[in-house]
Structure 1
Amino acid sequence: MPILGIATDADTIEEAEKEIKSLIEFHLDSLVGEKEDIPLETEEAFVTKSQVNLPKGASFAQ
């Protein structure tokens, strides 16, 4: 699995998926253009969920 070190931010999941696909294609094209190898992940990825208490008075953005 390639590890590209890219991220994006969007208002919706659909926008984020579209943007990240575009960034991946751009990054891969850039690596090929520079005659660079595509870096591979060297360790197993770690994904988790955590639950924390919000500070008193905190609220989520609308």
Structure 2
Amino acid sequence: MTQIKKSEMDYRLSKMMVDYLHSSGVINKRDRDKAINRLLKVYEPIIGMLEAEHGK
């Protein structure tokens, strides 16, 4: 369960950083969308696998 929470927090923190970069004008909307899609590709399988292991 701790691994699930850590992966979820890592994803949320990374997404917040991407959103901040977008809102401050460092990256554009297209780059923001690409970055979020990359994050989802990394963290969704990890969280799904860990939830399956723990019967959630």
Q: Give TM-score, length-normalised by structure 2.
A: 0.43
Structure with larger Rg: 1
Q: Give TM-score, length-normalised by structure 1.
A: 0.40
